[in-house]
Amino acid sequence: MHTVSPLPLMQLSIGFWSFKALATADELGLFARLSGTDGRTVDELAKLLDLDQRPTEMLVTACASLGLLERRDGRYVNSELAEAFLVPGKDHHFGGWVQMLDRRLYPAWGKLTDAVRTNRPTSWNPDEQPHLFASEDPELLALFWEAMHSLSTLTARELGVHVDLSDSTALLDVGGGSGAYDIELCRRYPNLRATVFDLPPVCDIAAGKLKAAGYEDRITVAPGDFLTDPELPAGHDVVLLSMIMHDWAPEQNLEILRKCFAALPSGGRIVISELLVNDEKTGPPAATLMSLNMLVETVGGRNYTAAEYEHWLRTAGFQNPQTTTFEAPGANGAVTAQKP
């Protein structure tokens, strides 16, 4: 007789324990203290972090069980994962993302029932703020952009492998953020030039990243607002929308795609990079839970299916939409189409 086990429910219900262990270790600077050392004992870590021995031992034990630390000869060291992504100053430091989730989204998700009942975000008040980051701590926002740059860099590398841009010469990155996609795509395709189109403060961030990467000659910034500006910058043969569409309602997305269509020449291409919900709307968890996150973060956004994107692309005038799937931190697929 088959018996259903409650263990999957137990794992689901304690999922926040793992996150809070990670967030607390990151906030206390545990991974930074261990980086570049041959490891430290619990007592040494307790002194360095100004903590009692008991909670220190419990925290490092939990982090070791999660694959964040390793124990060697009685001393704890960073795992390869933690050393690569959780040490401040590293190229792909992910701590800003962890802190953003801990300080902003963790409290908002604590009010998820309210969001479901009211169909309104819980991380900000749209009646009092013009947008979701209007009253956010500038230091936290800076950390968030650093984390998003890391996330986008890794995702762009996978996109470049699965979407061939070798015949493209000029890319317009709509809502391009820090320019991470553009740097990686231009690095992979030597004949490609790019423009980051985003709000003025974001373009300032992108300009700094482009200069630091040595790509300011091939990648430029163009301040603007893809929602309110009547048209997008012309002169490009490919338009990229990377992790943008999930923020907006269907009617807004269709309007964005129509602007992209108008900005492209005949034969131009559009590339949408997103976490795609499957067409059956049963998964995958990364996409469906990110979609639920849009409930607490946005007024009308959610994660969409490839079929929905393909329908909007055809409605906007594009032809031959195709979906390519891959695995990356910020996306699991790309939908491409061409202007006739």
The two three-digit tokens of residue 232, written as one number: 């997008």
Pairing outcome for strands 193-198 and 170-174: parallel
The one catalytic residue among 93, 149, 236, 246: 246
d(Cα 97, Cα 88) in Å, to the nearest integer? Answer: 12
The 10 Å CB-count burial string (b at 16+, else e) for 123-150 is bbeeeeeeebbeebeeeebebbbbbbbb
93 is catalytic: no
Alpha helices in the chain (DSSP H): 7-13, 15-28, 30-34, 42-49, 53-65, 80-85, 95-100, 106-109, 112-118, 138-162, 180-188, 200-213, 250-263, 285-297, 306-316
Neighbours of 156 (CB within 10 A): 27
Catalytic residues: 246
